[in-house]
């Protein structure tokens, strides 16, 4: 997939995103770049722009820091002199930044339509029902663990019930922490990260069950639940589940000696077929640290893969595992047009698209995040 073609298409359909005034449509790249740069300079240290790895280059070029969701949220918390934090990512990331930032800091999401389909697969009312039904079914000493790719309401639920948040970087340590405090783990919202991590830690697949929130009692057999160490919420990433074993086999045939590395949000069979798996930070580090002449096929979002391919050529060859390329369409909704619009608002004294978490949710989300940070 050509990233440039995606960008050209998006320019023609910019009105399909969060609506913008006509004056922000049809701007040339040079005009957009110049106006954003001018706004950044005028706002100075009052402004902090964070860019997730999956953002397009036209947005990333203006980021003060890039990284995964939690790394950027921690950066926001450490940058106390910034009055405005513009998070170029998706909604749950901006929520985490609001939880970790100071009371006087304002977190902004350039496009409110930039959500996350995986995070939306776990709703608080569904989780309440699940928790009650697990108790009815006799589940024993269950510790709730939520992936950071979840809404603040879900993180707060876990924090209030002795649970914790994890990232793809520390999921194994977090599961170990939970098993030291309980017998079973309710892992949400991404079943694949939970399954892949637990399996790598020695938990057999027959000690895992999938809980479907749309079916009474999760559709789980009571006897299977008794044996289960992992209760996996039926959620998934719409990007990483597009990769398959056939693609792994195909790239090995086309590029003998290629190293295949994938994100642990991929399905279990893809992770087993790959040479390595890990968070976006792990993927970047492994490829950067590899010997010159290495060839890599990467199973994650196309903008990160394209950026790695461009910056590391010709010393290393980086390919997308899916020849078409897997795009995070919600992350792609953050455009330079929307970034310019929120920055202009700040210059005019108007905070547009501010993301706020309620005091109660903020309190318990912070508890869950602090527990995660205490895990070594």
Indicate if 127 and 232 belong to the same structural domain: yes
CATH classification of the domain holding 223: 3.40.50
Q: Examine residue 305 and state whether it is found in any structural domain, yes or no.
A: yes
Report whether 223 contacts 111 (CB < 8 A).
Answer: no
Residues 255 and 212 both lie in one domain: no
Q: Which domain-ending residue is among 237, 270, 296? A: 237
Q: Residue 1: its pLDDT value, please?
A: 44
Torsional class of 237: left (φ above 0), alpha (ψ -120 to 50), beta (otherwise): beta
Kindly state whether residues 140 and 230 are assigned to the same domain.
yes
Which pLDDT does position 193 carry in this prediction? Answer: 98
CA distances from 164 to 113, 160, 287 (A): 27, 9, 30
Instruction: From first to last of the 376 residues of the chain, give the pLDDT tens digit.
Output: 445 544 554 454 445 568 899 999 989 999 999 999 999 999 999 999 999 999 999 999 999 999 988 788 788 878 888 999 999 999 999 999 999 999 999 999 999 999 999 999 999 999 999 999 999 999 989 999 999 999 999 999 999 999 999 999 999 999 999 999 999 999 999 999 999 999 999 999 999 999 999 999 999 999 999 999 999 999 999 999 999 999 999 999 999 999 999 999 999 999 999 999 999 999 999 999 999 999 999 999 999 999 999 999 999 999 999 988 888 888 889 999 999 999 999 999 999 999 999 999 999 999 999 999 888 6
- Tell me how far CA of residue 252 lies from CA of 71, 258, 259, in angstroms: 33, 6, 8
Give residue 77's domain range: 3-116+330-357
Number of residues that this document lists for the chain: 376
Residues 87 and 17 in one domain: yes
42 and 106 both lie in a single domain = yes
Among residues 196, 221, 237, which one ends one of the domains? 237
Same domain, 93 and 203: no
CA separation, residue 132 to residues 102, 207, 217, 278 (Å): 35, 21, 9, 33
How many angstroms separate the CA atoms of 219 and 75, rounded? 41
| Domain membership flag for residue 367 | no
- Same domain? For 101 and 21 the reply is yes
Q: Residue 110: inside a domain, yes or no?
A: yes
Residue 202 lies in a domain: yes
- Number of structural domains, the chain? 3
Please tell me whether residues 126 and 56 are part of one structural domain. Answer: no
What would the DSSP string read from start to end of 339-372?
HHHHHHHHHTT---SB----HHHHHHHHHHHHHH
- Predicted local confidence at residue 14, as pLDDT: 47
Q: Which two tokens stand for residue 193?
A: 């990260």
207 burial (CB, 10 Å; 0-12 / 13-18 / 19+) is: middle
Non-local CB neighbours of 307 within 8 Å, separated by 6+ positions: 53, 57, 60
| CA–CA distance, 64 with 297 (Å, rounded to integer) | 28
- 365 found inside a domain: no
Read off the tokens for 269.
Answer: 């069979």
292 within domain boundaries = yes
Does 223 fall in a domain? yes
- One domain for residues 80 and 189: no
Run of H or E including 230: strand 230-233
370 domain-assigned? no
* 309 and 249 both lie in a single domain: yes
Q: Is the dihedral of CA 296, 301, 302, 305 positive or negative?
A: negative
Same domain, residue pair 193 and 270 = no
Any idea which residue has 């269950």 for tokens? 142
**In which residue are the tokens 């036209």 written?**
58
Cα(270)–Cα(279) distance, rounded to whole angstroms?
Answer: 15
CA 303 to the chain's CA centroid: 14
* Overall pTM surpassing 0.85 (yes/no): yes
Q: Where are the beta strands (DSSP E) in 245-347?
A: 259-262, 276-277, 295-299, 317-320
Give the relative orientation of helices 124-136 and 152-160 as an angle to the nearest 10 degrees: 30
From 217, 237, 257, the end of a domain falls on 237
Q: Rounded distance, CA 330 to CA 93, Å? A: 13
Specify the CATH number for the domain of residue 248: 3.40.50.10800
Kindly state whether residues 145 and 184 are assigned to the same domain: yes
């Amino acid at each position: 997939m050509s990233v440039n073609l995606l960008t050209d298409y998006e320019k023609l359909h910019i009105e399909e995103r969060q609506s913008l005034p006509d004056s922000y449509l049809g701007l040339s790249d040079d005009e957009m770049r110049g106006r954003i740069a001018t706004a950044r300079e005028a706002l100075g240290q009052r402004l902090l722009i964070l860019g997730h790895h999956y953002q397009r280059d036209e947005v990333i070029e203006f980021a003060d820091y890039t990284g995964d969701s939690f790394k950027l949220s921690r950066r926001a918390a450490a940058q106390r002199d910034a009055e405005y934090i513009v998070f170029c990512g998706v909604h749950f990331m901006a929520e985490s930044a609001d939880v970790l930032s100071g009371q006087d800091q304002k977190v902004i999401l350039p496009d409110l339509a930039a959500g996350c389909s995986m995070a939306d697969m776990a709703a608080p009312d569904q989780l309440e029902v699940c928790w009650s039904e697990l108790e009815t079914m006799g589940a024993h000493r269950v510790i709730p663990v939520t992936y950071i790719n979840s809404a603040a309401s879900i993180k707060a639920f876990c924090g209030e019930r002795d649970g914790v948040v994890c990232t793809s970087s520390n999921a194994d340590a977090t599961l170990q922490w939970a098993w030291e405090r309980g017998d079973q783990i309710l892992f949400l919202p991404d079943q694949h990260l939970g399954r892949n991590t637990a399996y790598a830690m020695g938990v057999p697949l027959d000690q895992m069950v999938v809980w479907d929130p749309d079916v009474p009692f999760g559709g789980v057999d009571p006897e299977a639940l008794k044996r289960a160490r992992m209760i996996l919420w039926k959620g998934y990433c719409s990007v990483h589940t597009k990769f398959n074993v056939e693609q792994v086999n195909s790239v090995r045939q086309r590029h003998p000696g290629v190293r295949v590395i994938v994100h642990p949000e991929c399905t279990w069979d893809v992770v087993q077929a790959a040479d390595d798996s890990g968070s976006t930070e792990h993927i970047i580090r492994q490829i950067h640290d590899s010997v010159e002449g290495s060839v890599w096929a990467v199973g994650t979002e196309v903008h990160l893969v394209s950026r790695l391919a461009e910056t590391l050529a010709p010393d290393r060859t980086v390919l997308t595992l899916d020849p078409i390329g897997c795009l995070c369409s919600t992350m792609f909704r953050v455009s330079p047009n929307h970034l310019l619009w929120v920055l202009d608002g700040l210059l005019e004294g108007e905070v547009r698209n501010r993301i706020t978490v309620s005091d109660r949710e903020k309190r318990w989300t912070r508890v869950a995040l602090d527990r995660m940070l205490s895990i070594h």
